[in-house]
Structure 1
Amino acid sequence: MRILLAALLLCLSLPTFAQKATPEGAMYFVGFADKAGTPFRIDEPTAFLGEKALQRRQLHGSAITELDLPVSPAYVSGVQQTGAQVWLKSKWMNGVVVAAKEEQVAALKKLPFVREVYLAAPKQYTRSSALPVVPNLDRPAPSFEPVPVNPQFYGYGWQNLDNMEGDSLHHWGFRGKGVLVAVFDGGFPSVNYKDFLGYADAAAVPANYDLVEQDDTALDGSTHGSTVLSTMAAHHPFFFVGTAPDARYVLFKTENGRGEHRLEEINYAIALEIADSIGVDVVNSSLGYTTFGMKEMDYTAKDLDGKTSPASIAIGHAFARGMIIVTSAGNSGGDDWKYIGTPADAPDALSIGALNDDGTRAYFSSFGPTADGRTKPDVSALGVSVAAITASGRGLTAADGTSLASPLVAGLVACLRQAVPTATNRELLDAIRATADQAAQPDNERGYGRPNFAAAYRLLQQARKR
């Protein structure tokens, strides 16, 4: 994962490109034709979805469909019989990621139930155990006493909150309590430190999962994830308090620091599947994909249609199931590319641009529209000299990028979710756009403008009184 706190842009790949098998092997996605033989049933969803996930779907009227069923074990077994090592399983993409050699790839393509096989990454991934580790979500959230809502108590986090009228939500008692937030990034070292999540040690962190090495130790890797997380979750009174300190956080490591490969985008899609199944309400992904280590995998502007990228497609599935996905728009506004990346192009993503302190667009913030003409970004937030906690948990940094603007918004989305629990995800996003500072004239520089979360809350409350 390429990380520039001054201007973050993570890059990825194109879904169709030349197949280049290598004798030493590589990582491939193997797509199945159907789900024949799966032992799971649509009318027995508790076997593969948690209670909180089912409650969220009930609120949104989202039916359980075949898309939700896990892949066919018989098909997985058939793949393994070729000698390929099954790495990841995706129910929404209906397939598996495998580590395979050239002759095994040839055998995979001949299987009658296989609809596609494509290269996802060179073989530079490792797994710490023979099988993936299942995330543990049984730990309780931290509990904080009622706090004063003033600049002194929030310290260096005050501007992040006050800039979008988030202090009003906090004053009314909405700081994200009861809301489950997932964060996708390249790692979260040192977040066990109590001022990040309110826990005394790593063993108490609610859940973290590494899709790269497939273990429950996402508390390593890139420090970028820790900085992003701090803007939402930090609770260090009189020094730094984040935009949603009472929310509960699930941390997913989806990015491989060894290089940019399409497998990261598949990791993203699978992380959304897991997040859905455990009942996550809001996701922040300060990630974006445009170019890649292998040029034949690069996206072009015409691919930014919301239905080409696996990550963008997965956002559509997650949104249909009641989740809200907040993502950075990208930091290519000053480059030749200039446009947003994926998955910010997804129709149902809340894509976030970056603003200067005076509310003008930051020079690096990526432009819309999407390839099919939709306005992006959706809204924009402070993205220059954003106050955040360093990865050690003991210092302060000032960082730039849409990767910092995104979690500021995501944290307040979690607070709004708590404030209006009966609202659908679409109602929440519509209210955020409708009350932003240029809602009457949205454009492809700032979207609908800077959000006003107090106004969004009032609009939602008024709608419920009618």
Structure 2
Amino acid sequence: MKKIIFLYIIFFSTQISSQETIEDAWIFLKDKPNATTFLNNPLTMVSQRAIYRRETQGIAFDEKDVPIHTGYYNQIRNEENLTILGKSKWLNAIHVQATVSKIKTLSSKYNFIKAIEYANKSLNFKGKRISKNGVQNHVNKFSNTLSDFNYGDAENQIKILKGNELHKAGLTGKRQIIAVIDAGFPNVNTLEAFKRIRDNNQILGGYNFADRNDNFYTRNSHGTHVLSTMAGYLEGKFVGTAPDASFYLFITEKAESETVLEETLWVEAAEKADSLGVDVINTSLGYTIFDNPNHSYSYADMDGKTTFISRGAEIANSRGILVVNAVGNSGNSGWKYLAAPADAASVISVGAVDAVGEIAPFSSFGPTSDNRIKPEILAQGLGVTVINFSSGQVSLSNGTSFSSPIVAGLIACLNDNEGFILKSVNKRNKNLNDFLKEELYKSADRYNNPTNQHGYGIPDFEKAFNNYISVFSVNEILLNDIKVIPNPVTTSFYIKNLQRDLKDYQITLFDILGKKVSNYQLNNQSIDISELQKGVYFLKLDKANTSATVKILKQ
């Protein structure tokens, strides 16, 4: 009897102790009472550029875009012994920290609460317990692997993906905005390698969510190195993959710790990026193991639906943003698998290879726990060149952290022609982002034979670009043997067709955005385009019910 009483006291004491433990939780709200007012006035939620991005992609605003109801938020905020750490309008959730007993009282107190989800999954009704495999080591994912060796330029990491062919075509990201969500950007405001984007006003702004202030040129240098692979420029030494893109810089990662708060901060940053009209998000972050082991994820959680950050990434994609994420550096560790949000179905997850295309041992494995192919594609991440935040010189580094932005920059370049593509894709009822990803994956060298570590393999951006725009170049009625000579064009060209006379055809030249450049008459003379800028153009021939479109590269 004494033994039973003693065990009961231990059990009861443990229960009391757990109730008094400070915990993180997300409070999910039932509704947004003022949704109609906001939806009737989109500029109260997002910028004009964000509205344009939605309109061109045919994506309507919905209740997810509406801010959290102020009345609900204030009632939670005014609760004693409770701290609000963050919030998400997309998920209609408030991230709080308090004792478990305090958090539990909220459901009965407020009828606007839909559900409460604890970071400690054992406290949730259907929570998934963390893996029993003993892999609970907190790895410093920002360990310094840089050297002072001056490698030279970034030629290989661009050419292995045929990204240079996009640049030759005049696609350098000029019409694209990239949000970099990372751990810090020290010295981006002073280094010579970023002078070009500073002078051209390509840094549009940013925010430090980690410290809740406007100083984003601080904290961990990881973000500086990541940004350099896209935006760095040292004449004759280094060129990033998207040299003419514009950037927002957001800090959400606290490199000195690993907590679930960073997931919430990431979603906040993604929401901000959406509101500003961002086209591409790059994230070289991933979450599996936290300092509090009760918050850590298991492989079963890597299903793209469980983690808060992956749910946020899925919504970002549904708003028309291309999300690119490093798959992780755990390939040769006990965990070995990918990390959230790389597990999200819509996220383009990127693994790492070396300079000759061999898989990097550290590159994390897929598939997701629900057996989807991850990573989708690969880029150089072993012996990759970056700009050293301290010296400002070209240095070597390793990690899928750099594979991801190399790809993100080139995706921005590939997407740089979206105005022209939209006219064709929308006619075929295709989602523009899905179409781009489909062609990118198809271009990869292992598309027909993917593996758990390679995914579809190394993409060929030249091939993806040609396939991406080919949908606009399909003849309504085939004109056989049309030839533009020469092509590429330096100053002028001829049009030839061996099977019919083209002199009565209307000839129109369009730029990459679908804007008409000029009309021409064909009189067996060359067409002079010497005054045009370098880049891709489309020559359209029309007569009655017959038409054809031919791509021209102006050099």
Distance 1:306 1:19 in 2: 33
Aligned partner of 2:467: which letter? L
Distance 2:234 2:112 in 1: 54
1:461 aligns with 2:469: yes
Alignment-derived partner of residue 446 in structure 2: 438
Does the 8 A contact of 1:82 with 1:108 survive in 2? no
Which range is displaced more, 97-106 or 349-358? Answer: 97-106
The within-5 A match list for 1:193-342 is: 193=190, 194-196=192-194, 198-199=196-197, 205-342=203-340
TM-score normalised to structure 2 length: 0.71
Which range is displaced more, 373-382 or 90-99? Answer: 90-99
Alignment CA distance shift 1:305-1:190 (3 Å): same
Task: Look up the SS of the partner of 2:172 in the other structure.
Answer: coil
Does the 8 A contact of 1:19 with 1:119 survive in 2? no
Alignment-derived partner of residue 82 in structure 1: 79
Post-superposition shift, 1:168? Answer: 0.9
Aligned partner of 2:211: which letter? E
Alignment-derived partner of residue 151 in structure 1: none
1:52 to 49, 54, 71: 49
Alignment CA distance shift 1:465-1:201 (3 Å): closer
The within-5 A match list for 1:356-375 is: 356-375=354-373
1:189 aligns with 2:189: no
Alignment-derived partner of residue 399 in structure 1: 397
Post-superposition shift, 1:155? Answer: 4.9
Does the 8 A contact of 2:35 with 2:63 survive in 1? no
The sequence identity of aligned pairs, in percent, is: 36
1:147-204 deviation per Cα after TM superposition (whole angstroms, max 9, x unaligned):
xxxxxxx951211211111111111111110200001111110111242262558998
Post-superposition shift, 1:380? Answer: 0.4
The within-5 A match list for 1:336-355 is: 336-355=334-353
Distance 2:399 2:117 in 1: 33
Alignment-derived partner of residue 113 in structure 1: 112
**RCO higher in 1 or 2 (8 Å CA, sep ≥ 6)?**
1
Does the 8 A contact of 1:71 with 1:94 survive in 2? yes
Aligned partner of 2:443: which letter? T
Task: Look up the SS of the partner of 1:252 in the other structure.
Answer: strand
Post-superposition shift, 1:392? Answer: 2.9
1:340-385 deviation per Cα after TM superposition (whole angstroms, max 9, x unaligned):
1111111100000111222121111111111111111100011101
Does the 8 A contact of 1:197 with 1:233 survive in 2? no
Does the 8 A contact of 2:350 with 2:379 survive in 1? yes
Alignment CA distance shift 1:40-1:120 (3 Å): farther
Alignment-derived partner of residue 409 in structure 2: 411
Distance 1:284 1:321 in 2: 16
Does the 8 A contact of 1:192 with 1:205 survive in 2? no
Post-superposition shift, 1:274? Answer: 1.0
Distance 2:290 2:461 in 1: 36
1:400-419 deviation per Cα after TM superposition (whole angstroms, max 9, x unaligned):
11111111101100111113
Alignment CA distance shift 1:303-1:103 (3 Å): closer
Alignment-derived partner of residue 169 in structure 1: 166
Post-superposition shift, 1:77? Answer: 1.7
1:59-84 deviation per Cα after TM superposition (whole angstroms, max 9, x unaligned):
22211111111111110121122134
TM-score normalised to structure 1 length: 0.84
Alignment CA distance shift 1:299-1:104 (3 Å): closer
Distance 1:211 1:303 in 2: 26
Distance 2:285 2:254 in 1: 12
Aligned partner of 2:271: which letter? E
Post-superposition shift, 1:215? Answer: 1.4
Task: Look up the SS of the partner of 2:278 in the other structure.
Answer: coil
Alignment CA distance shift 1:160-1:95 (3 Å): same
Alignment-derived partner of residue 124 in structure 1: none
Structure ID, larger Rg = 2
Aligned partner of 1:111: which letter? Y
1:103-156 deviation per Cα after TM superposition (whole angstroms, max 9, x unaligned):
7535534322223345569xxxxxxxxxxxxxxxxxxxxxxxxxxxxxxxx951
Alignment-derived partner of residue 158 in structure 1: 155
Does the 8 A contact of 1:38 with 1:71 survive in 2? no
Task: Look up the SS of the partner of 1:292 in the other structure.
Answer: coil
Distance 1:365 1:49 in 2: 37
Does the 8 A contact of 2:85 with 2:261 survive in 1? no
Distance 1:39 1:388 in 2: 47
Task: Look up the SS of the partner of 2:369 in the other structure.
Answer: coil
Alignment-derived partner of residue 501 in structure 2: none
Task: Look up the SS of the partner of 2:310 in the other structure.
Answer: helix
Instruction: Report the number of matched residues.
Output: 416
Post-superposition shift, 1:19? Answer: 10
Which range is displaced more, 414-423 or 286-295? Answer: 414-423
Alignment CA distance shift 1:427-1:96 (3 Å): same
Aligned partner of 1:115: which letter? K
Distance 2:99 2:372 in 1: 41
Q: Which runs of no fewer than 5 residues in structure 2 stay unpaired? A: 1-15, 121-150, 423-431, 475-555
Alignment-derived partner of residue 70 in structure 2: 73
Alignment-derived partner of residue 179 in structure 1: 176
Does the 8 A contact of 1:39 with 1:72 survive in 2? no
